[in-house]
Amino acid sequence: MSAIFLKLIILYYPTFLFARPLYLKELPPELKKCKTCHLTRGGKGYNAFGKDFENFGMEKIMNMDSDGDGFINRIEIEKGTNPGDPADFPGSQKKSGSISIWILTFLFSIIIITVLFYIKKRKMKND
């Protein structure tokens, strides 16, 4: 009994260790995130693509349009848009990896703060 339990632990240990499902290797890097298949970042509930993926597997859903945005899953995966989000499709403004807008906002804020700092410093020097 304990030998079987030990084998099960050894067999499934990598999944627990990395806490990332092994099926993620089927997705391109830009779609290896929770919201590709789930409704939330925490991995709660499945979106339309996640449900199809779970029910039919990756190969069978490649020619389906899971989220109904007019683009089949294969095209969305190739273009890097979310096949489970109807607002994200090739040519849409919403990008799956839209972190760049946050980086630009952060850099712009740093520039503004630096300029204000030098203006204040210069003003104090003149007084």
Whole-angstrom distance, CA of residue 51 vs CA of residue 66: 9
Minimum distance from CB of 70 to Ca ion (Å)? 9
Minimum distance from CB of 86 to Ca ion (Å)? 6
Looking at the Cβ atoms of 7 and 32, the one nearer to Ca ion is 32
49 binds Ca ion (CB under 5 A): no
Q: 114 Cβ partners below 8 Å, 6+ apart?
A: none
Interaction with Ca ion in 51-110: which residues (CB under 5 A)?
67, 69, 85, 88-89
CA angle 69, 33, 27 (to 5 degrees): 75
Looking at the Cβ atoms of 52 and 85, the one nearer to Ca ion is 85
Minimum distance from CB of 79 to Ca ion (Å)? 9
Binding site for Ca ion (CB under 5 A): 67, 69, 85, 88-89
